[in-house]
Chains A and B, each alone.
Chain A
Amino acid sequence: MLITEHERLKQDIAIWSEGLGRRRSSLLPILQAIQRKYHRVSNLAMQMVADALGIHPSEVHSVVSFYAFLDERPTGRFVLRLCRTVSCHMAGKARVAQQLRNDLQIQFGETTPDGDFTLEWANCLGMCDQGPALLVNDEVHTKVTPADVHHIIESCRRTFGLHARIAREART
């Protein structure tokens, strides 16, 4: 039987809230798990979490809207966050930003039409001695140059789609 996205989301939320405990303090970890797997926290997901924890959905929404790493709108498989804080700014983040815009053909705050990449600004990534710093999902890149941008994007692309399938098939 085909499991729809809706049912899968419901199952996941049930598992996570059971595992973490159905209490308010589990809210953020549950939302983080949803974000990680589904690349967003949709209205439907917020309603389901509210039901699981026995709180009002507006409470869940107030939390989702507060944190920069939780998104109501769909984000890409890869979220690229370029540090814009002062040390990375002085280390030349503006040119890296420009090349990211050029190579991805989107502005900051946008997602590529194929749903692969989202471009975001980040505040201090804690790599101030090695700027400019770029966070790609959970992985951090340091001393990024405009020329590195292409390689970083390509290495993301290699982890899914046709390239990844060929690599997987070669292994098995």
Chain B
Amino acid sequence: MIAASLGNKLTFSEVAPDVALARALQMSRPEIIAEISAAQLKGRGGAGFPTGVKWNLAAAARSDAKYVICNADEGEPGTFKDRVILSEHADLVFTGMTIGGYAIGASSGILYLRGEYTYLRERLQRVLAERRKGGLLGRAIKGKPGLAFDIEIRMGSGAYVCGEETALIESLEGHRGEPRNRPPFPVDTGFEHRPSIVNNVETFAWVTCIFDKSAGWFKAIGTARSAGPKVLSVSGDCAKPGVYEVPFGISIAELLDLVGGKGARAVQIGGASGVCVPSSDFHRSIAFEDVATGGSVIVFGKERDMLEVAHNFLEFFTEESCGQCTPCREGSRRLLDGVEQLHRGSCSTTHLDDLCALGETMQLASKCGLGQSAPNVFLSIVAGFRNELLGRVPASQGAAEKAQKELP
């Protein structure tokens, strides 16, 4: 583990995107993809798909047009690292997209920015204009004849599900943000049926770092199956919330030390679609092979009522389910009803078990990642805090009993 990369200072601030781009453009297309594969970079949005494999498939696809899409629809509760990266290191992201465009043979890039981040758009447009002026975007990038690439910004309109890559493409095409069946995958049937790579903001930034530093540098950080550093967004009950760069493989306990979250009773890793890890499991590590995350870490202190947490997340899913498939649409609603019953103290053990079975059905039967992960938080809170959820005395009844006792 490299201690130097711990903490608030991001590697991104010491990287020269121009150097990275120049280096990448000296390589052939297969060499670029080989470099990404050698670094073992996996997608930073949360799913962890190997970036080299994705790019290779898109590079091999034959088409009159291809697209590089940057997923900046950062809607996962507790995630804000992409906002910070776009505010402070936009050049790295755009450089990564340009390298991607060269690698797969695309001349168009699209940054899909969530509507909630509209205040970033003007700044990003200025960065793009500067890059066009500097010959880093446009007809002949860095004077390389025939190498054309440009990036446009498209805005979302307030839909969490559009962070799912096929829903994002649907949205770009002017449809409801309803996820598609996969396969076919975007690498061969993406935006307007053309091969497209969809990568997270952070993934593109790391691509630039890999060409500035090296694949070896990147691979040396992290674990065998989760290479490289990861940018986390930490919030909740801790002294120092914010953005942290850590090596993959860091334990939850170590992270809590770093952010001043000692004494936490649980940590939500991976946002609403992630899992709730109770303090007994704080030895577990943040990595694709253990507790995976797209970057969201929410700390719950000693006093937190975990049922309230489950309630908040299920309200979120009830609201954000696109409604296309039944397990997700109806299941989220039923789980929310169940949490409300638990809160009122009127949920039988049998019913709670039924709800857990329903949650497992949602994991199996939902169409996309949103529905498949919607029950995770409920299931992990039931598993970790069952005793705390059952047999609650409703507030009104509690007050009545207390009043009874106080009678002379």
Residues of A within 8 A of B (CB): 23-29, 31-32, 62-63, 66-70, 84-87, 89-90, 122-131, 135, 138-140
Contacts and interface: CB of A to CB of B under 8 A. Distances in A.
B175 A63 contact: yes
A128 B80 contact: yes
Nearest to A53: B174
A73 to B, nearest CB: 15
A11 B247 CA distance: 54
A128 B174 contact: no
A126 B79 contact: yes
Candidate in A32, A124, A125 with the most chain B CB atoms within 10 angstroms: A124
B107 interface: no
Interface in B17-36: none
Contacts of B308: 89
A125 B118 CA distance: 11
B188 interface: no
B313 A86 contact: yes
A108 to B, nearest CB: 12
13 contacts: A26-B174, A27-B174, A29-B155, A62-B176, A85-B272, A86-B312, A123-B77, A123-B316, A123-B320, A124-B316, A126-B116, A128-B241, A139-B119
B74 interface: yes
Given A122-B116, A126-B117, A129-B233, A67 B78 contact: no
A2 to B, nearest CB: 33
Contacts, number: 120
B160 interface: yes
B83 A85 contact: no
Given A25-B173, A25-B192, A128-B241, A87 B236 contact: yes
A71 to B, nearest CB: 10
A24 B176 CA distance: 12
Most chain B beta-carbon neighbours within 10 Å: one of A128, A131, A135? A128
A4 B241 CA distance: 52
A87 B296 CA distance: 11
B119 A140 contact: yes
B158 A122 contact: yes
Interface string B290-315: 00000010101000100011001101
B403 to A, nearest CB: 26
Contact of A32 (B157, B177, B319): B157
Contact of A125 (B116, B155, B296): B116
Contact of B77 (A67, A70, A87): A87
A103 to B, nearest CB: 23
B298 A128 contact: yes
A26 B171 CA distance: 10
B115 interface: yes
Nearest to A85: B77
Contacts of B296: 128
Contact of B235 (A24, A25, A129, A139): A129
B92 interface: no
Contact of A70 (B82, B83, B157): B157
Contact of B157 (A68, A84, A126, A140): A68
B154 interface: yes
A127 B80 contact: yes
Residue of A24, A62, A63, A66 with most chain B CB atoms under a 10 A cut-off: A66
User: Which A-B residue pairs are the 4 nearest by beta carbons?
Assistant: A27-B174, A68-B158, A128-B235, A129-B241
A139 B120 CA distance: 10
A129 B319 CA distance: 23
Interface in B225-251: 233-237, 241-243
A55 to B, nearest CB: 9
Contact of B76 (A31, A70, A124): A124
A131 B235 CA distance: 9
A131 B82 CA distance: 17
A51 to B, nearest CB: 15
